[in-house]
């Protein structure tokens, strides 16, 4: 559920002003008269994540939502689908064919017409091996997707080999948005992934005018835009047809203190990636905060690397953690530990029966470790076996918020209580990527544990993480029975049947510990009171389609 809060604004400090100057946020030219500045953490956009078709990063989708429209929208207030680039849609009785009727008045930023051929070209791009789609392909069904076909100039069919329950929901996201077919025909995938005004060309309310990696993106309004979805802004007013500003500048400011200072000083108008600590500093500003659906923030356990190949060690690790104490202590009182690998806000899938079923149990954890053969100790008090210390290596990537560092520090202490040494290493994005995956060697996974959350409007996110062929399966789990359950959940058309299957999958994780769910992240946006018309999608991500600046 979204929430709004208000507090008093303290004065911006000289230190914050210096930080802004150092990151390029200080004005180096006369400001645009009606420029809205949107401050974000960045999240490795510069490392080939400007293409929502190939990237799995949230930031790729919510930044590029300004450029790329979808076939339909999901009204976050009603849960109903709303027309967007498609005016109507129909699903065959067997669930294998989706037919979309398209608007006839839409053009891309480069003048190319939006039609059925353009839709087909985009689905072919998502499915193409060279795109190496990290999420969009799974969102259209993966192996279940058999093709897109233009049945007339403004009608297109998508076909599946089996029903795929999340398809319409997934088609509301920027991950399945639409590029100009001229770009897809002429640009290389490397260029599309890198992004920029020449390749990030869609039908959306903004045109990408400038991109300086690691610094900023500048968008200008698409003055021809007349086909936005019929949604409402945060104040309940109908979304304006076009943004009423001169430009939208997205500033990449990795440090939260800098984003807070930018809002306080007026050098930014909107900011995301804000913690409870930041909100206490922002005072009487509007705030929109949503508990992200999908996979909560979790420790991802690599079954093929080091001591976590032993299920008893994984179980012991899970039972040794005092998450009831660690999560609010590190993140703030608005955060609570979670019990499932689905966030409580994941509709028609979360199983509340798991709550309270795996509390901290040091006696049981110690027994499991003894049974696993880690029954001797070194001089530092850590368990050993055959002269080797029981060490678990946890790898994360920058930027890594202080609150998460604090959480891991608590977990280090918890695990030491049962004789496990937890070593946490935080590295730059390119180094993390090299230790995770390379084109030459595929999945490397040079760690015992890594961590992330994965926002998703549907519980099918678990198939991406736990299926033996899942693109995000860093656990390396390969279980035929689990694979079958994940496919059953994806292809079931009865919501009650899906819910029952997902309950079984969630219990499977408690028993086998592929991931240890830690907390449900909140996507929080704050903005200055001069900004009006801001809206939010089902993820809680901001939409600038109807934004304006109050006089």
The CATH number of the domain where 385 resides is what?
3.10.105.10
Q: What is the pLDDT of residues 67-78, one digit of tens each?
A: 999 999 999 999
Q: Does residue 233 lie in a domain region?
A: yes
Q: Does residue 16 lie in a domain region?
A: no
Q: Does residue 78 lie in a domain region?
A: yes
Q: Answer yes or no: do 309 and 203 share one domain.
A: no
Query: Residue 261 is part of a domain; what is its CATH number?
Result: 3.40.190.10
Beta strands in 1-104 (DSSP E): 35-40, 72-74, 81-83, 86-91, 97-102
pLDDT one digit per residue (tens) for the chain, 551 residues:
444 443 323 333 333 443 444 444 444 555 547 999 999 998 778 888 999 999 999 999 999 999 999 999 999 999 999 999 999 999 999 999 999 999 999 999 999 999 999 999 999 999 999 999 989 999 999 999 999 999 999 999 999 999 999 999 999 999 999 999 999 999 999 999 999 999 999 999 999 999 999 999 999 999 999 999 999 999 999 999 999 999 999 999 999 999 999 999 999 999 999 998 899 999 999 999 999 999 999 999 999 999 999 999 999 999 999 999 999 999 999 899 999 999 999 999 999 999 999 999 999 999 999 999 999 999 999 999 999 999 999 999 998 999 999 999 999 999 999 999 999 999 998 899 999 987 778 889 999 999 999 999 999 999 999 999 999 999 999 999 999 999 999 999 999 999 999 999 999 999 999 999 999 999 999 999 999 999 999 999 999 999 999 97
Question: What pLDDT score does 26 carry?
Answer: 43
CB contact at 8 A, 274 and 40: no
Q: Answer yes or no: do 43 and 185 share one domain.
A: yes
CB contact at 8 A, 463 and 290: no
Q: Answer yes or no: do 378 and 446 share one domain.
A: yes
Q: Answer yes or no: do 236 and 128 share one domain.
A: yes
Question: What pLDDT score does 29 carry?
Answer: 53
Question: Alpha-carbon distance 57 to 78, whole Å?
Answer: 26
Q: Does residue 14 lie in a domain region?
A: no
- The structure's pTM equals 0.89
Question: What pLDDT score does 45 carry?
Answer: 87
Q: Answer yes or no: do 302 and 281 share one domain.
A: no
Q: Does residue 24 lie in a domain region?
A: no
Count of H-run helices and E-run strands, the chain: 17, 27
Number of domains the chain is built from: 2
Q: Does residue 449 lie in a domain region?
A: yes
What is the domain range of residue 503? 294-520
Identify any residues that bridge with 299 across adjacent strands, giving them in sequence order. 451, 516
Q: Answer yes or no: do 131 and 218 share one domain.
A: yes
Q: Answer yes or no: do 413 and 436 share one domain.
A: yes
Given its phi and psi angles, is residue 308 left (phi above 0), alpha (psi -120 to 50 degrees) or beta? alpha
Cα separations in angstroms, 422 against 30, 380, 390, 412, 528: 50, 13, 9, 5, 42
Question: Alpha-carbon distance 271 to 18, whole Å?
Answer: 19
- CA dihedral angle for residue 455, residue 260, residue 288, residue 462, rounded to 10 degrees: 10
Q: Torsions phi, psi of 24, nearest 5?
A: 85, 10
Q: Answer yes or no: do 357 and 487 share one domain.
A: yes
Q: Answer yes or no: do 241 and 385 share one domain.
A: no
Q: Does residue 191 lie in a domain region?
A: yes
Question: Alpha-carbon distance 38 to 262, whole Å?
Answer: 10
Question: Alpha-carbon distance 230 to 87, whole Å?
Answer: 12
Q: What is the pLDDT of residues 255-283, one digit of tens each?
A: 999 999 999 999 999 999 999 889 999 99
Q: Among 478, 517, 490, which Cα is nearest to 303's?
A: 478
State whether residue 47 is helix, strand or coil: coil
Q: Answer yes or no: do 315 and 392 share one domain.
A: yes
Q: Answer yes or no: do 300 and 280 share one domain.
A: no
Question: What pLDDT score does 6 carry?
Answer: 33
State whether residue 386 is helix, strand or coil: coil
Q: Answer yes or no: do 231 and 317 share one domain.
A: no
Q: Does residue 495 lie in a domain region?
A: yes
Question: Alpha-carbon distance 541 to 483, whole Å?
Answer: 31
Question: What pLDDT score does 30 carry?
Answer: 54
């Amino acid at each position: 559920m979204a929430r709004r809060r208000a507090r008093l604004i303290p004065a911006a400090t000289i230190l914050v002003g210096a930080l802004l100057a150092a990151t390029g946020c200080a004005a180096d030219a006369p400001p645009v008269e009606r420029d809205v500045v949107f401050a974000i953490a960045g999240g490795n956009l510069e490392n080939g994540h400007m293409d929502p078709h190939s990237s799995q990063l949230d930031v790729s989708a919510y930044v590029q939502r300004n450029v790329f429209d979808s076939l339909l929208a999901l009204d976050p207030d009603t849960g109903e689908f709303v027309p967007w680039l498609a005016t109507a849609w129909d699903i065959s009785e067997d669930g294998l064919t989706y037919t979309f009727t398209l608007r006839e008045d839409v053009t891309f930023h480069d003048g190319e017409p939006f039609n059925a051929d353009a839709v087909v070209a985009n689905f072919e791009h998502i499915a193409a091996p060279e795109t190496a789609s990290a999420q969009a392909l799974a969102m259209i069904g993966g192996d279940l997707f058999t093709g897109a076909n233009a049945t007339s100039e403004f009608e297109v069919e998508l076909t599946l080999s089996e029903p795929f329950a999340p398809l319409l929901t997934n088609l509301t996201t920027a991950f399945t948005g639409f590029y100009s077919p001229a770009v897809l025909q002429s640009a290389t995938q490397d260029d599309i992934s890198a992004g920029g005004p020449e390749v990030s060309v869609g039908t959306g309310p903004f045109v990408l005018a400038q991109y300086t990696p690691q610094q900023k993106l500048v968008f200008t309004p698409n003055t021809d835009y007349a086909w936005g979805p019929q949604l409402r802004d945060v104040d309940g007013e109908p979304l304006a047809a076009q943004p009423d500003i001169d430009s939208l500048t997205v500033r990449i400011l990795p440090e939260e203190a800098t984003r807070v200072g930018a809002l306080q000083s007026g050098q930014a108008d909107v900011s995301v990636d804000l913690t409870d600590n930041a909100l206490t500093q922002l005072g009487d500003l509007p705030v929109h905060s949503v508990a992200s659906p999908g996979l909560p923030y979790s420790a991802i356990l690599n079954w093929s690397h080091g001591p976590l190949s032993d299920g008893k060690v994984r179980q012991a690790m899970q039972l040794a953690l005092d998450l009831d104490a660690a999560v609010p202590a590190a993140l703030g009182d608005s955060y609570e530990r979670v019990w499932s690998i689905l966030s409580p806000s994941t509709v028609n899938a979360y199983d509340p029966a798991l709550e309270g079923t795996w509390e901290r149990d040091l006696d049981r954890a110690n027994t499991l470790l003894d049974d696993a053969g880690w029954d001797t100790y070194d001089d530092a008090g850590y368990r050993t076996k055959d002269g080797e210390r029981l060490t678990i290596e946890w790898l994360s990537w920058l930027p890594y918020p202080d609150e998460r560092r604090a959480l891991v520090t608590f977990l280090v202490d918890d695990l030491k209580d049962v004789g496990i040494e937890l070593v946490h290493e935080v590295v730059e994005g390119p180094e993390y990527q090299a230790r995770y995956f390379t084109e030459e060697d595929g999945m490397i996974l040079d760690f015992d544990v890594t961590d992330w959350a994965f926002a998703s409007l549907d519980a099918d996110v678990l198939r991406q993480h736990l299926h033996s062929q899942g693109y995000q399966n860093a656990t390396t789990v390969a279980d035929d029975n689990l694979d079958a359950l994940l496919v059953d959940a994806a292809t079931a058309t009865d919501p009650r049947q899906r819910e029952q299957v997902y309950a079984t999958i969630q219990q499977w994780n408690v028993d086998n510990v592929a991931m240890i769910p830690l907390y449900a992240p909140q996507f929080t946006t704050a903005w200055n009171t001069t900004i009006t018309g801001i809206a939010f999608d089902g993820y809680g991500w901001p939409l600038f389609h109807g934004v304006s600046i109050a006089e």
